């Protein structure tokens, strides 16, 4: 048997998900990757620059959070690649794709950092949730599983951060 190739000579992808659906899912995952990376960078920035009476608690919490986010970017990018598309990987691309604003130039007060991170985790959850209908339509269980894992992390993290804001 010969190898299946596309008209461009590249190996053809035949995983049971059509090209149009793979492209739509990859585009959605690219937004999720951009949001995740942007939130990672903001969280790491806040880890470095937090001050005040809650320094130790927040410094440690932010480190746990940015480490989790860092470990999340690779599986998202690799899923995009498995679908046959190129994963975005530049600040310019992330700036265009992300629904999350860049970190403030001046470090905010500690509780403002927490509020910004709550908003960021909620935004990533919305982005992840927006890809679900595409994955479900294409019967793409690996993407649905990835989205479920990401939603669990972002919703729990937003809840934990919100808990710091309650009095």
Tokens 């470095």 locate to 48
Residue 3 lies in a domain: no
Report CA-CA distances (Å) from 150 to 2, 36, 79, 131: 39, 10, 13, 12
State residue 166's pLDDT score: 83
Q: How many domains does the chain have?
A: 1
In a domain, 88, yes or no: yes
What pLDDT is attached to residue 29?
A: 98
Predicted local distance difference test score (pLDDT) of residue 167: 66
The percentage of residues in the chain with a pLDDT greater than 90, rounded to a whole number, is 88
Domain assignment present for 27: yes
Q: 4, 14 in Cβ contact below 8 A?
A: yes
161 located within any domain: yes
With b for 16 or more beta-carbon neighbours within 10 A and e for fewer, the 78-105 pattern comes to: ebbeebbbebbeeeebbeebbebeebee
Enter the DSSP assignment of 98: -
The answer, yes or no, to whether residue 5 has pLDDT greater than 60, is no
pLDDT tens-place string over residues 72-83: 999 999 999 999
Predicted confidence (pLDDT) per residue in 85-117, tens digit:
999 999 999 999 999 999 999 999 999 999 999
Q: Which domain holds residue 42?
A: 19-165
pLDDT value of residue 14:
79
Q: Which residue has the tokens 């927490």?
A: 114
pLDDT tens-digit readout, 25-56: 999 999 999 999 999 999 999 999 999 999 99
- CATH number of residue 151's parent domain: 1.20.1260.10
Residue 92 domain-assigned? yes
Of residues 71, 92, 76, 84, the one with CA closest to residue 13? 84
Does 6 reside within a domain? no
In this structure, is residue 36 part of a structural domain? yes
For residues 8-34, average pLDDT: 88
Q: What is the CA radius of gyration of the chain?
A: 18
Question: Please, which pLDDT band fits residue 1 given cuts at 50, 70 and 90?
Answer: very low
For the cut 60, the answer to whether the pLDDT of residue 6 exceeds it is: no
């Amino acid at each position: 048997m010969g190898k299946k190739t596309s008209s461009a000579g590249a190996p053809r992808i035949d995983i049971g998900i059509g090209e149009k659906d793979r492209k739509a899912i990859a585009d959605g995952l690219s937004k999720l990757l951009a949001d995740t990376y942007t939130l990672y960078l903001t969280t790491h920035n806040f880890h470095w620059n937090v001050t005040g009476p809650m320094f130790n608690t927040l410094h440690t919490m932010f480190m746990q959070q940015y480490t989790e986010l860092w470990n999340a970017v690779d599986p998202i990018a690799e899923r995009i690649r498995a679908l046959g598309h190129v994963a975005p990987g530049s600040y310019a691309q992330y700036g265009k794709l992300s629904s999350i604003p860049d970190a403030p130039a001046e470090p905010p007060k500690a509780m403002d950092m927490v509020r910004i991170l709550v908003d960021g985790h909620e935004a990533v959850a919305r982005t992840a949730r927006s890809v679900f209908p595409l994955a479900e339509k294409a019967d793409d269980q690996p993407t649905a599983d990835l989205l479920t894992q990401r939603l669990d992390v972002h919703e729990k993290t937003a809840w934990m951060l919100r808990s710091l804001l309650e009095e």
